[in-house]
Amino acid sequence: MSAPAAAESRGPLRRAVGFLGDAWLVLVLGLAFGGALAGVQVGLADRVEANRRAEILERIPALVLGETVEGLGVTVRGEDELVLGAGDGQRVLTVTPSERAAHDVWELAAADGERLGWVVRGAGAGYADTIDLLVGLDAAAERLTGLYVLSQKETPALGDNITKEPFRSQFRGVDARARLEAVNAAPAPGDGRIRAITAATISSRSVCDIVNRTLAEVRPALTAGRAPGEAGRETREEAP
């Protein structure tokens, strides 16, 4: 075989080897970039979770104690201490996290150990996506003390008003044993009915349903050990 013919016959082989080399290079680079992205995502997930934990802890005092502490600065100290205010007027509270009926629960107590209330986390379907929220309860878990929406993707300027006043303030003082219901007319104070946001009835009902379901699941664990005579009063009606 002449030299030109031999060179021509080796051409396809060289190209095939070149293609294989390029394919391996792409595969190695893909694995390297994939591993790097996975590492970044893990790091971001940890940071997001840390930020969410800090947000929850900072909200707990106002959710339980209401207007008496609103406006005071909250400093998270260590794993279980919250410091309200500054200087001589500082108030130290302790937070004990736990899980009850598959829900995250935080118990808020004074420095001397006196229980002040509870915060329970719940989530469920909204109009557009999942609504993730916190519900405040008094020490006996008999009355709601506050509501805070952690995350939502409801319609801007309509459904997302579930994150604002006056909608959230309607939950304060409501009997935790009553079934909440979103209505269009102005309800009587404290009767368990919540005035729905105009043009966002589904979002309003979704919040009430999440609160109803969350408390129906968690309150029995929070009120366990009460006197037998109180058992009948402690049963919360579940949302249909």
Concatenating the DSSP letter of every residue in 62-122 gives HHHHGGGTTTS-EEEETTTEEEESSGGG-EEEEEEEEEETTEEEEEEEETTS-EEEEEEEE
In a domain, 101, yes or no: yes
- β-pair type (74-77, 81-84): antiparallel
Cα–Cα distance list, 79 to 10, 65, 75, 171, 197 (Å): 70, 20, 11, 29, 37
In a domain, 21, yes or no: no
d(CA 12, CA 15): 5
Query: Which residue range is the domain that position 142 belongs to?
Result: 50-234
Question: What was the pLDDT predicted at 38?
Answer: 61
In a domain, 16, yes or no: no
d(CA 212, CA 170): 15
Q: What is the dihedral of CA 84, 85, 87, 91, to 10 degrees?
A: -30
Beta bridge partners of 130: 125
Q: Per-residue confidence of the chain (240 residues) as pLDDT tens digits?
A: 555 555 555 566 666 666 666 777 777 777 777 776 666 555 677 888 888 888 999 999 999 998 778 778 889 888 889 999 888 889 999 999 999 999 999 999 999 999 999 999 999 999 999 999 999 999 999 999 999 999 999 999 999 999 999 999 999 999 999 999 999 988 877 678 999 999 999 999 999 999 999 999 999 999 986 543 343 333 434 443
Question: What was the pLDDT predicted at 229?
Answer: 36
In a domain, 106, yes or no: yes
Place of tokens 């050990």: 225
Question: What was the pLDDT predicted at 237?
Answer: 44
Query: Alpha-carbon torsion 125, 131, 132, 137, what sign?
Result: negative
In a domain, 102, yes or no: yes
Which H or E run contains 214?
A: helix 201-222
In a domain, 10, yes or no: no
The candidate with the shortest Cα–Cα distance to 194, out of 152, 135, 234, is 135
* φ, ψ for residue 65, nearest 5 deg: -95, -15
Question: What was the pLDDT predicted at 61?
Answer: 95
In a domain, 221, yes or no: yes
Q: Would you say 174 and 135 are in contact if contact means Cβ atoms under 8 Å apart? A: no
Q: How many domains does the chain have?
A: 1
In a domain, 45, yes or no: no
